[in-house]
Structure 1
Amino acid sequence: MIKKIFSYLIPIKIYQSKSSLSKSIEVTWANGELVLDSENANYSYGSLQRILRIGLKNIGFEKIAAMEHILVLGVAGGSVIKTLVDEIKFKGKITGVEIDSDIIKVANKYFALDKIPQLDIVIEDAFEFVLKTKNKYDLIIIDIFQDTTMPNFLFETFFINRICFLLKSRGFILFNTMILNETQNIRNRKYVSEFYENQFRIRTIPRIEIHNELIVIEKLE
């Protein structure tokens, strides 16, 4: 409790480690809440939770609450899952895919991720999971970063087509991206152009927390 109070004055780090995939995993008290960070980016809670909450509000909390199955690609500490369960009161199934088993151990210990009954965590590369899954989803949340870098496969046509195939009719994709330069801005514009207007409704929410751009895609048929 003392650390939580003092964190309003200065961030207080309570845990730091490395994993085979992350140079640094840090848990810190900041402004009265626990956050999970990498070396240069917020991984869960804090600004990231605010960013994805905006995207979920854009889709509509009531609409999400009525869904049956949500896929989260990139779990980290699980802040978007906590938003789904605690704020939106989502009662359906959540499948979370995370490549880094060490970060899930941290999420279980400090953020009680393993106490969410409808959550199924799969330790696997998101690309491999998407290739193999036979399920269809009402909402696919894509939030995959390695520090401040996004894997190239997220923007490749094959992956885009596969994600779209896994969406139910009237389902949504919520894609969190980071734009640090003009090349990445062009990358995002190209990504949006991959979707056919008669099959998808697309909107972007730019410059959230300065560098993030959310892409919201609705499947129309």
Structure 2
Amino acid sequence: MLKKFLSYFIPVNIYKRNSAINKTLEVTWNNGQLVLDSKSTNYSYGSLQRILRKGLHYIGFERIKKFDNVLVLGVAGGSVIKTIANEIGFKGRITGVELDADVITIANDYFKLNEIPNLTLINDDAFEFVLKTKEKYDLIIIDIFQDTVMPNFLFEEFFINRINFLLKVNGFILFNTMTLNKKDKERNLLYRSRFTEDYSVRMYPKVEDHNELFTIKKLQ
């Protein structure tokens, strides 16, 4: 508890390792809270939890409670899963897909994701998983980064169409993006334009400095 107390004055690192996928991973006490960071950005808890919590608020906690199943692509330390399970009180099925096995180990050891009874954690590539799954989902959360870089496939038509296929009618996509420059902002505008009138798309810019959220509802 001393490290937690000291973290209100200065961040206290308690674990660090190199990952083949994410390179540097650090678990740190910061302002009395455990957070997971990569070399250049917050991966879970801290600012990222605030960002995704805002997105879930935009969709509506009471609406989410009534969903049957949620898919999280990009788990990291699992802050959004903790929000869904603990704050919202969601009792349906949660499936979390994370490419980095080292991250899953950290999520279980330090953030106790393995204690959430309605969560299934899968070590897989998000692109591969969405090709294989036969489930349909009420909420699909996309939060995939390698440090500050977003994989190109997230914005390609094939992946977008596959995600849309997996989404139930009246279901939502919550997509967290990073906009560091003009090119990123243009990429996001192009992404928005790929959705037809069968979807209600909202953009929320400047969420925690460089993040831009999308909420996308499937109307029919």
User: The residue matched to 1:18 in structure 2 has which SS?
Assistant: strand
Note the 1:20-169 alignment, pairs <5 A: 20-169=20-169
In structure 2, list runs of 5 or more residues that go unmatched. Answer: none
Instruction: Quote how far apart the aligned CAs of 1:107 are.
Output: 0.8
* Structure 2 residue identity aligned to 1:41: T
> Secondary structure, in 3 states, of the residue corresponding to 2:196?
coil
| Matching residue of 1:205 | 204
Distance 2:8 2:203 in 1: 33
Alignment partners' CA distance in 2, 1:79 and 1:24:
19
Alignment partner of 2:23: what SS? coil
Counterpart Cα distance in 2 of 1:72 and 1:32: 26
Equivalent residue, structure 2, for 1:188: 188
Query: How far is 1:3 from its partner?
Result: 0.7
Cα distance in 2 between the residues matched to 1:99 and 1:185? 26
CA RMSD, Structure 1 to Structure 2 (Å):
0.4
Q: How far did residue 111 of structure 1 move?
A: 0.3
Count matched residues.
Answer: 220
| Deviation per residue, 1:81-112 (Å, 9 max, x gap) | 00001100000000000000111101101000
What corresponds to 2:170 in structure 1? Answer: 170
Identity %: 64
Rounded to whole Å, the distance in 2 between the matches of 1:22 and 1:54 is: 25
Q: Residue 220 of structure 1 corresponds to which residue in structure 2? A: 219
How far residue 22 of structure 1 moved from its aligned partner, in angstroms, is 1.5
**TM-score under structure 2 length normalisation:** 0.99
Q: 1:22 and 1:152 mapped to 2: Cα distance?
A: 16
* 1:180 aligned counterpart, secondary structure: coil
- Matched residue type, 1:218: K
Could you tell me how far apart the structure 1 residues matched to 2:108 and 2:124 are? 17
Separation in structure 2 between the aligned mates of residue 191 and residue 151 of structure 1, nearest angstrom: 14
Q: For residue 187 of structure 1, what is the amino acid of its counterpart?
A: R
Residue by residue over 1:5-60, the C-alpha shift from the partner in whole angstroms, topping out at 9 and shown as x without a partner, is 11010000000001111110100000000000000010000000000000000000
> How far apart, CA to CA, are the structure 1 residues paired with 2:123 and 2:107?
13
**SS of residue matched to 1:141:** strand
CA positional deviation for 1:219: 0.1
Q: Distance between the aligned counterparts of 2:109 and 2:132, measured in 1?
A: 29
Q: Distance in 2 between matches of 1:18 and 1:137?
A: 33
- How many Å separate the matches in 1 of 2:141 and 2:22? 21
Residue 208 of structure 1 aligns with an amino acid whose one-letter code is V
Residue equivalent to 1:18: 18
Classify the secondary structure of the residue corresponding to 1:58: helix
Q: Structure 1 residue runs of 4+, over 2 Å off?
A: none
The whole-number CA distance in structure 2 between the counterparts of 1:190 and 1:150 is 15
